[in-house]
Amino acid sequence: MSIPIDPKCCPICGKPNQCDRASGKTNESCWCVYEKFPPMIFTVVPKEKLHKACICKECLKAFKKSAIQEVVPAAALAEV
């Protein structure tokens, strides 16, 4: 028996991800459609929750911040 995955909760922090897609609404209405998710962020998501639950805004923000500072040089900043 495995723990059921809640698609409404962020797989990283466990807080509500506020994803409209998870609550059955149209794809276009969700904030995540307009956000860019760096591919590296999925490496911090537990395997069993990958593609099953959305990452929340806060975690995306936090990840981007740390990724830009630690991994990505100035070239990536120019892109934004």
Binding-site ranges for Zn ion (CB under 5 A): 10, 12-13, 56, 59
Minimum distance of Zn ion from residue 76's CB (angstroms)? 22
Per-residue exposure over 41-67, b if at least 16 CB sit within 10 Å of its own CB, e if not: beeebeeebeeebbbbbebbeebbeee
Question: Nearer Cβ to Zn ion, position 47 or 75?
Answer: 47
- Toward Zn ion, which CB reaches closer, 10 or 19? 10
Give the Cα separation of 40 and 79 in Å (integer). 17
N residues, the chain: 80
Q: Which is nearer to Zn ion, 32 or 56 (CB)?
A: 56
Q: How far is the CB of 10 from Zn ion (least distance, A)?
A: 3
